[in-house]
Amino acid sequence: MTRSSMNRLFAVGGLGLAAALFYGASSFPDRAADAARYVFFLAGIFAVLSLVLLLRKTPSPDSHVVWVRSPRSFFFAVVAIVAYGAVIPRFGFFPASALFMPLLALLLGYRRPLFIILGTGVILSFVYLVFVYFLGVPAPQGIWGE
Protein backbone atom coordinates (compact mmCIF):
# COMPACT_ATOMS: atom_id res chain seq x y z
CA MET A 1 0.00 0.00 0.00
CA THR A 2 1.33 3.46 -0.88
CA ARG A 3 1.51 6.27 1.68
CA SER A 4 -1.10 8.32 -0.18
CA SER A 5 -3.65 5.49 -0.29
CA MET A 6 -2.98 4.80 3.39
CA ASN A 7 -3.65 8.46 4.19
CA ARG A 8 -6.88 8.31 2.19
CA LEU A 9 -7.92 5.16 4.06
CA PHE A 10 -7.28 6.78 7.45
CA ALA A 11 -9.05 9.96 6.30
CA VAL A 12 -12.16 8.02 5.23
CA GLY A 13 -12.04 6.18 8.56
CA GLY A 14 -11.82 9.54 10.35
CA LEU A 15 -14.81 10.92 8.41
CA GLY A 16 -16.74 7.75 9.23
CA LEU A 17 -15.92 8.16 12.92
CA ALA A 18 -16.95 11.84 12.82
CA ALA A 19 -20.28 10.86 11.21
CA ALA A 20 -20.82 8.12 13.79
CA LEU A 21 -20.09 10.58 16.62
CA PHE A 22 -22.47 13.13 15.12
CA TYR A 23 -25.19 10.51 14.70
CA GLY A 24 -24.61 9.15 18.22
CA ALA A 25 -24.71 12.58 19.86
CA SER A 26 -27.92 13.50 17.98
CA SER A 27 -29.75 10.84 19.96
CA PHE A 28 -28.61 12.10 23.38
CA PRO A 29 -31.56 13.13 25.60
CA ASP A 30 -32.19 16.82 26.45
CA ARG A 31 -30.66 16.47 29.92
CA ALA A 32 -27.34 15.62 28.25
CA ALA A 33 -27.38 18.60 25.87
CA ASP A 34 -23.95 19.83 27.03
CA ALA A 35 -22.45 16.38 26.53
CA ALA A 36 -23.91 16.32 23.02
CA ARG A 37 -22.44 19.75 22.22
CA TYR A 38 -18.99 18.57 23.29
CA VAL A 39 -19.27 15.48 21.08
CA PHE A 40 -20.47 17.69 18.16
CA PHE A 41 -17.40 19.87 18.74
CA LEU A 42 -15.11 16.82 18.61
CA ALA A 43 -16.90 15.39 15.58
CA GLY A 44 -16.56 18.73 13.76
CA ILE A 45 -12.82 18.98 14.40
CA PHE A 46 -12.34 15.32 13.52
CA ALA A 47 -14.19 15.81 10.23
CA VAL A 48 -12.16 18.92 9.31
CA LEU A 49 -8.82 17.26 10.10
CA SER A 50 -9.82 14.12 8.18
CA LEU A 51 -10.79 16.25 5.17
CA VAL A 52 -7.40 18.00 5.30
CA LEU A 53 -5.72 14.57 5.37
CA LEU A 54 -7.88 13.40 2.46
CA LEU A 55 -7.33 16.41 0.23
CA ARG A 56 -3.72 17.31 0.85
CA LYS A 57 -1.04 16.20 -1.56
CA THR A 58 1.34 13.42 -0.53
CA PRO A 59 4.98 14.36 -1.21
CA SER A 60 6.27 12.67 -4.34
CA PRO A 61 7.72 10.12 -4.90
CA ASP A 62 4.98 8.23 -3.10
CA SER A 63 6.60 5.58 -0.89
CA HIS A 64 5.22 2.21 0.17
CA VAL A 65 4.19 1.68 3.77
CA VAL A 66 5.97 -1.15 5.54
CA TRP A 67 3.32 -2.25 8.01
CA VAL A 68 5.19 -5.27 9.31
CA ARG A 69 8.94 -5.76 8.88
CA SER A 70 8.98 -9.44 9.78
CA PRO A 71 5.48 -10.84 9.06
CA ARG A 72 6.18 -14.32 10.43
CA SER A 73 7.47 -13.17 13.83
CA PHE A 74 4.80 -10.45 14.05
CA PHE A 75 2.04 -12.97 13.31
CA PHE A 76 3.38 -15.43 15.89
CA ALA A 77 3.64 -12.70 18.52
CA VAL A 78 0.09 -11.39 17.97
CA VAL A 79 -1.47 -14.86 17.88
CA ALA A 80 0.50 -15.98 20.94
CA ILE A 81 -0.48 -12.88 22.96
CA VAL A 82 -4.17 -13.22 22.02
CA ALA A 83 -4.12 -16.98 22.78
CA TYR A 84 -2.35 -16.24 26.08
CA GLY A 85 -5.14 -13.81 27.03
CA ALA A 86 -7.73 -16.43 26.09
CA VAL A 87 -6.26 -19.30 28.12
CA ILE A 88 -5.54 -17.33 31.32
CA PRO A 89 -9.14 -17.59 32.66
CA ARG A 90 -9.11 -21.34 31.93
CA PHE A 91 -5.61 -22.44 33.02
CA GLY A 92 -4.76 -19.67 35.45
CA PHE A 93 -2.16 -16.92 35.11
CA PHE A 94 0.98 -18.78 36.19
CA PRO A 95 0.51 -22.03 34.21
CA ALA A 96 -0.54 -20.00 31.13
CA SER A 97 2.52 -17.75 31.48
CA ALA A 98 4.82 -20.74 32.02
CA LEU A 99 3.57 -22.08 28.68
CA PHE A 100 3.44 -18.75 26.85
CA MET A 101 7.00 -17.55 27.45
CA PRO A 102 8.88 -20.64 26.22
CA LEU A 103 6.44 -21.14 23.35
CA LEU A 104 6.76 -17.58 22.02
CA ALA A 105 10.55 -17.60 22.52
CA LEU A 106 10.72 -20.81 20.41
CA LEU A 107 8.36 -19.39 17.78
CA LEU A 108 10.58 -16.31 17.53
CA GLY A 109 13.52 -18.57 16.73
CA TYR A 110 15.33 -18.74 20.07
CA ARG A 111 16.89 -22.16 20.67
CA ARG A 112 18.65 -22.05 24.04
CA PRO A 113 16.45 -24.04 26.46
CA LEU A 114 18.48 -23.17 29.56
CA PHE A 115 18.08 -19.40 29.01
CA ILE A 116 14.39 -19.85 28.17
CA ILE A 117 13.80 -21.75 31.44
CA LEU A 118 15.88 -19.23 33.39
CA GLY A 119 14.10 -16.24 31.79
CA THR A 120 10.66 -17.75 32.47
CA GLY A 121 11.65 -18.50 36.05
CA VAL A 122 12.94 -14.98 36.69
CA ILE A 123 9.87 -13.24 35.21
CA LEU A 124 7.36 -15.47 37.01
CA SER A 125 9.23 -15.21 40.32
CA PHE A 126 9.25 -11.41 39.95
CA VAL A 127 5.51 -11.35 39.21
CA TYR A 128 4.75 -13.66 42.13
CA LEU A 129 6.89 -11.70 44.58
CA VAL A 130 5.72 -8.22 43.58
CA PHE A 131 2.11 -8.70 42.52
CA VAL A 132 0.90 -11.73 44.49
CA TYR A 133 3.07 -11.66 47.63
CA PHE A 134 3.55 -7.92 48.23
CA LEU A 135 0.53 -6.36 46.50
CA GLY A 136 -1.93 -9.20 47.15
CA VAL A 137 -3.23 -9.27 43.57
CA PRO A 138 -5.46 -12.34 43.15
CA ALA A 139 -3.92 -13.58 39.87
CA PRO A 140 -6.48 -15.62 37.88
CA GLN A 141 -6.36 -19.27 39.00
CA GLY A 142 -8.56 -20.82 36.31
CA ILE A 143 -9.64 -24.42 36.85
CA TRP A 144 -7.18 -24.77 39.76
CA GLY A 145 -9.09 -22.24 41.84
CA GLU A 146 -12.55 -23.81 41.46
Partner 1 sequence: MTEFILPALTSLLDPMVLLVISAGSIVGIIVGAMPGLTATMAVALLIPVTFGMSPLLGLALMGGVYCGGMYGGAISSILLSTPGTPAAAATAFDGYPMARQGKGGTALTVATWASFWGGIISTIALLLMAPALAKFSLRFGPPEYFVLAIMGLSSIVTLTKGSMVKGLLSGFFGLTIATIGMDPLSGFMRFTFGQIDLFDGVPFMPALIGLFSVSQILDLTAETRITENIDAALSTIKRSKLPKGLSGTICRGGVIGTIVGMLPGAGATISSFISYNFAKQSAKDPETFGKGNPKGVAAAESANNGCVGGSLIPLLTLGIPGNSVAAALMGGLMIQGLIPGPELFSRYGTLTYGFILSLFIANIVFLVLGLYLAPYFARVTSTPNALLIPGIAILSVIGSYAINNNMFDVWLMIAFGIAGYFLEKGGFSTGALVLGLILGPIAELGFGQSLIMSQGSPMIFFERPLCILLWVITLLLMIPAFSSNLKKTKNRAE
Contact indicator for 47, 15 with CB cutoff of 8 Å: yes
Tell me if 3 sits within 8 A of 58, measured CB to CB.
Answer: yes
Who's near 114: CB < 8 A, 6+ residues apart? none
Query: Which of these, 34, 46, 142, lies nearest to 97 by C-alpha position?
Result: 142
Per-residue contact flags (x/-) with partner 1 for residues 52 to 71, judged by CB under 8 A: xx--x--x-----xxxxxx-
Binding mask 68-87 for partner 1 (x = CB under 8 A): xxx--xx-xxx-xxx-xx--
Could you give the string, one character per residue 12-31, with x where binding to partner 1 holds by CB under 8 A and - elsewhere?
A: --x--x---x--x---xx-x
Measure the CA–CA gap between 33 and 58, rounded to whole angstroms: 39
Contacts with 41 (C-beta within 8 Å, 6 or more apart), sequence order: none
Give me the least distance between CB of 106 and partner 1, in Å please: 8
Q: Which residues bind partner 1 (CB under 8 A)?
A: 6, 10, 14, 17, 21, 24, 28-29, 31-32, 34-35, 37-39, 41-42, 45-46, 49-50, 52-53, 56, 59, 65-70, 73-74, 76-78, 80-82, 84-85, 88-89, 93, 97, 100-101, 104-105, 108-110, 115-116, 119, 123-124, 127, 130-131, 134-140
